[in-house]
A and B are shown apart, each in its own frame.
Chain A
Amino acid sequence: MQETLEIKDLHVSVEGKKILNGLNLTIHKGKIHAIMGPNGAGKSTVAMTIMGHPKYKIEKGEIFYKGKNIVELEANERATLGLFLAFQYPFEIQGVNFSHFLWVASKSHPTIKFNNVIEFKKALKENLVKLGLDEAFADRAVNVGFSGGEKKRVEVLQMMMLKPEIAIMDETDSGLDIDSLKIVASAVNSLRSSEFGALVITHYQRLLNYLKPDVIHIMVNGRIVKEGGWELVEELEKDGYANFIENKTESNRGET
């Protein structure tokens, strides 16, 4: 059976505000999942919580990965287990050389084995080319002075270099022009295998058209309200979120 990341009845608050209300979600390695949902549904909170951001407080619930509950693990421990987050808003780190940073990061992953820094740089260069980025990015400070679209592509670059087993991509498509979107989508598609799974968070159908995810999850008010296949994307395209928001209200009533 394929490995899964399994979230059970997750309740999360940020700075005292409750965001996730009993989220259940299972992500399968080897598959591409997508979460769609209106603004404020809590999609980014799912991403940050899976990765272990200290500001996102888990009040209740579990996240199982590789046979254990990972909620107490530090972000770096989750990373070295094979999880990855492509940030919606990547942070700038002044004065830190990008390739040095990524080299140090890659050394922390037991599964990544470059024999030497030359091999690493070669792989980095190849992936830069794949993403349509200038080789000079390797020696720039991490995200400093990158345009919005460049930052997003550099997130995907890190994903390609760190070879996660399950990657969460938080609105990687926002701020990308159509050409960049195609480049990013084909890079993600090139990673597809039984050893790679992804959770793609997005507002738009555009990226999904290129990725053709296996499972679609609709998220409203901090929980998953519907799961299904590609037909859900088409339904959303036609009717928007209105139907799902009603469903949500009904289920809430059912609970109380």
Chain B
Amino acid sequence: MVTATQVVDKEDYKYGFHDPEQYTFKIERGLNADIIRRISEHKKEPEWMTEIRLKAYEVFTQKKMPNWGGDLSKIDFQNIIYYVKPSEKAESDWENVPESIKNTFEKLGIPEAERKFLGGVGAQYDSETVYHNLREDLTKKGVIFTDMDTAVKEHPEIVKKYFGTIIPMEDNKFVALNTATWSGGSFVYIPKNVHVDIPLQAYFRINTKNMGQFERTLIIAEEGASVHYVEGCTAPTYSSDSLHAAVVEVIALPRSKIRYTTIQNWSNNVYNLVTKRAYAYEDATVEWIDGNLGSKLTMKYPSVYLVGKNAKADILSVAFAGKGQHQDAGAKVVHLAPNTTSTIVSKSISKGGGRASYRGLLKIAKGATNSKSNVRCDALLLDEESRSDTYPYIEIDEDTATMGHEATVGKVGEEQIFYLMSRGLTEEEALTMIILGFIEPFSKELPMEYAIELNKLIKLEMEGSVG
């Protein structure tokens, strides 16, 4: 047993607690082909997955670091622990989850949330899923909601068909790294015409210091199916950096609808570098609802490729950049078929010298006739030191397409604050209320429990900021 000793005090990050590191297996620091082979071996994976990992490792070693976005120069790949296994297996009975891990998730309110409003829950602790459960009626309808490792063993035909097809390992250095070292993540499969009426939720928690969490998520909705998948992420506050490099592939087959909601609230020493992409086929809809708080640097641009006619994409995102944080977030939509529509709404708040960048790509390819897109980015700066940038890349190769783009940068008005204060609110309450109002188009799309949680997190961020 190893106990991490160095914990940084940061009273305003409520998930900053950590447990003593208790694990059943942990690989040594650093990365090479042998380590990858041993991770795969330890997981008792089929040979084809080991092959994919080793090939991806080769790609990783050859790929250059991205030279845009945020500062990645401080990431030391050889100082990261790539695999930490906290318990023997994923439990479907909460009572069997090891006590210390159970306590963590109970502090985070997970089992309670499941009882109240979820159709299924997965909880990942460091590299492995420790708990997974799906409502019985959904299991009977053929819905699969499990962790990715189990899916490789139990549903290899589906995994082989889709894994790495939406986001190939060559896409970027962090995708290659994830493909080589992935562990955990969710696997969701919704059979034809099945509607999952309440959300499925996964929760990701990094506990080990200097740990790399590389979950891999794959969501497939067959024709006419629908699902809402929700995930939340936290990590304790250590004095040294952790890396979260997830890959999420989403496949919305004809007439299906997938909504993917994330609220990420990392401690401010996590590099959060996530690649998320969806394919939407004919008449399908994909919605990304993406909220980013915390982390040292986040680079994340949920994407939708509209590959079938009448397909639709909605991307709604919020980024809150506090002191010492850089949120480089945005959205990408590629229109490849006729009559496709997309809406992107991005809201960012920068405070205490934080930096929020919107980076977006909108492409309407030739032949995507009568496609429509609307992009709106609003930035709110809370002080003079904070920063907001917008990098909208737009490529339209189709004459019949229509596109609207609007960007605003604003400061909270003295007049609005005075108005609220004249009714009895303190300056901090007034400012927080204005900020929550600013992100309301986002929070109203969240499940109620998440909206309440997001409001709480923002209130915490704002505490003591006026004075």
Indicate whether A93 sits within 8 Å of B425 (C-beta atoms), given known contacts A54-B418, A101-B420: no
**Chain A residue at minimal CB-CB distance from B434:** A93
Indicate whether A105 sits within 8 Å of B424 (C-beta atoms), given known contacts A93-B437, A95-B437: yes
Asked if B436 and A90 sit within 8 Å, CB to CB, the answer is: no
Asked if A76 and B436 sit within 8 Å, CB to CB, the answer is: no
B427-444 residues at the A interface, CB under 8 angstroms: 427, 429-430, 433-434, 436-441
Partner of A96, one of B413, B424, B433: B433
* Interface residue total, chain A, C-beta cutoff 8 A: 31
Nearest-neighbour CB distance to chain B for A71, whole angstroms, equals 15
* Interface residue total, chain B, C-beta cutoff 8 A: 24
Nearest-neighbour CB distance to chain A for B11, whole angstroms, equals 24
Asked if A96 and B434 sit within 8 Å, CB to CB, the answer is: yes
Q: Considering the chains assembled together, what is the distance between the CA atoms of A141 and B416 in angstroms?
A: 13
Asked if A105 and B425 sit within 8 Å, CB to CB, the answer is: yes
Residue numbers in A under 8 Å from B420 (CB-CB): 93, 101, 105
Residue numbers in B under 8 Å from A102 (CB-CB): 423
Residue numbers in B under 8 Å from A51 (CB-CB): 418, 422
**Chain A residue at minimal CB-CB distance from B440:** A95
Residue numbers in A under 8 Å from B419 (CB-CB): 87, 90-91, 93
Nearest-neighbour CB distance to chain A for B346, whole angstroms, equals 15
Partner of A162, one of B423, B430, B438: B423
Indicate whether A104 sits within 8 Å of B422 (C-beta atoms), given known contacts A55-B414, A74-B427, A95-B441: no
Nearest-neighbour CB distance to chain B for A172, whole angstroms, equals 15
Residue numbers in A under 8 Å from B413 (CB-CB): 91
Residue numbers in A under 8 Å from B439 (CB-CB): 95
Any A CB within 8 A of the CB of B457? no
A151-190 residues at the B interface, CB under 8 angstroms: 158, 162
Residue numbers in A under 8 Å from B416 (CB-CB): 91, 93
Q: Considering the chains assembled together, what is the distance between the CA atoms of A94 and B425 in angstroms?
A: 17
**Chain B residue at minimal CB-CB distance from A78:** B422
A96-113 residues at the B interface, CB under 8 angstroms: 96, 101-102, 104-106, 108-109
Indicate whether A104 sits within 8 Å of B414 (C-beta atoms), given known contacts A93-B420, A93-B434, A95-B438: no
Can you list 29 A-B contacts (CB < 8 A)?
A: A51-B418, A51-B422, A52-B422, A53-B418, A54-B418, A74-B421, A75-B418, A75-B421, A76-B425, A76-B430, A79-B422, A80-B424, A84-B422, A85-B422, A87-B419, A91-B419, A93-B434, A95-B436, A96-B436, A101-B423, A102-B423, A105-B420, A106-B424, A108-B423, A108-B426, A108-B429, A141-B440, A142-B437, A158-B423
Asked if A76 and B440 sit within 8 Å, CB to CB, the answer is: no
Nearest-neighbour CB distance to chain B for A242, whole angstroms, equals 35
The 9 closest A-B pairs by CB, nearest first: A95-B440, A95-B437, A108-B424, A96-B437, A105-B423, A75-B421, A79-B424, A91-B419, A76-B421
Partner of A79, one of B414, B421, B434, B438: B421
Any A CB within 8 A of the CB of B415? yes
Q: Considering the chains assembled together, what is the distance between the CA atoms of A93 and B439 in angstroms?
A: 12
Residue numbers in A under 8 Å from B438 (CB-CB): 94-95
Residue numbers in B under 8 Å from A52 (CB-CB): 422
Nearest-neighbour CB distance to chain B for A147, whole angstroms, equals 18
**Chain A residue at minimal CB-CB distance from B418:** A53
Indicate whether A94 sits within 8 Å of B437 (C-beta atoms), given known contacts A76-B425, A76-B427: yes
**Chain B residue at minimal CB-CB distance from A90:** B419
- Of B413, B414, B418, B436, the most chain A CB neighbours within 10 A belong to B418
Q: Considering the chains assembled together, what is the distance between the CA atoms of A52 and B424 in angstroms?
A: 12
Residue numbers in A under 8 Å from B418 (CB-CB): 51, 53-54, 75
Q: Per-residue 0/1 for A60-86: is the Cβ within 8 Å of any B Cβ (1 yes, 0 no)? A: 000000000000001110111000110
Residue numbers in B under 8 Å from A85 (CB-CB): 422
Asked if A75 and B415 sit within 8 Å, CB to CB, the answer is: no
Residue numbers in B under 8 Å from A79 (CB-CB): 421-424
Q: Considering the chains assembled together, what is the distance between the CA atoms of A96 and B444 in angstroms?
A: 11
- Of A75, A78, A96, the most chain B CB neighbours within 10 A belong to A75
**Chain A residue at minimal CB-CB distance from B413:** A91
Q: Considering the chains assembled together, what is the distance between the CA atoms of A94 and B380 in angstroms?
A: 13
Residue numbers in A under 8 Å from B422 (CB-CB): 51-52, 75-76, 78-79, 84-85, 87
Q: Considering the chains assembled together, what is the distance between the CA atoms of A108 and B423 in angstroms?
A: 8
Asked if B427 and A93 sit within 8 Å, CB to CB, the answer is: no
**Chain A residue at minimal CB-CB distance from B438:** A95
Partner of A104, one of B425, B427, B440: B425
Asked if A76 and B434 sit within 8 Å, CB to CB, the answer is: no
**Chain B residue at minimal CB-CB distance from A100:** B433
Residue numbers in B under 8 Å from A141 (CB-CB): 437, 440
Residue numbers in B under 8 Å from A75 (CB-CB): 418, 421-422
Q: Per-residue 0/1 for B82-118: is the Cβ within 8 Å of any A Cβ (1 yes, 0 no)? A: 0000000000000000000000000000000000000
Nearest-neighbour CB distance to chain B for A65, whole angstroms, equals 15
Q: Considering the chains assembled together, what is the distance between the CA atoms of A102 and B422 in angstroms?
A: 12
Nearest-neighbour CB distance to chain B for A176, whole angstroms, equals 20
Q: Considering the chains assembled together, what is the distance between the CA atoms of A55 and B418 in angstroms?
A: 10
**Chain A residue at minimal CB-CB distance from B429:** A104
Q: Considering the chains assembled together, what is the distance between the CA atoms of A108 and B433 in angstroms?
A: 14
Indicate whether A109 sits within 8 Å of B440 (C-beta atoms), given known contacts A91-B415, A91-B419, A96-B434: no
Asked if A94 and B440 sit within 8 Å, CB to CB, the answer is: yes
Nearest-neighbour CB distance to chain B for A53, whole angstroms, equals 5
Asked if A93 and B433 sit within 8 Å, CB to CB, the answer is: yes
Nearest-neighbour CB distance to chain A for B300, whole angstroms, equals 24
**Chain B residue at minimal CB-CB distance from A94:** B437
Residue numbers in A under 8 Å from B414 (CB-CB): 54-55
Q: Considering the chains assembled together, what is the distance between the CA atoms of A101 and B423 in angstroms?
A: 9
Residue numbers in B under 8 Å from A93 (CB-CB): 416, 419-420, 433-434, 437
Q: Considering the chains assembled together, what is the distance between the CA atoms of A59 and B418 in angstroms?
A: 20
**Chain B residue at minimal CB-CB distance from A51:** B422
Asked if B437 and A109 sit within 8 Å, CB to CB, the answer is: no
Residue numbers in A under 8 Å from B427 (CB-CB): 74, 76
Residue numbers in A under 8 Å from B429 (CB-CB): 104, 108
Q: Considering the chains assembled together, what is the distance between the CA atoms of A174 and B78 in angstroms?
A: 71
**Chain B residue at minimal CB-CB distance from A143:** B419
Q: Considering the chains assembled together, what is the distance between the CA atoms of A142 and B422 in angstroms?
A: 14
- Of A54, A84, A93, the most chain B CB neighbours within 10 A belong to A93
Seed contacts A76-B422, A91-B415, A95-B440; 4 additional CB < 8 Å A-B pairs: A51-B422, A80-B424, A95-B439, A101-B423
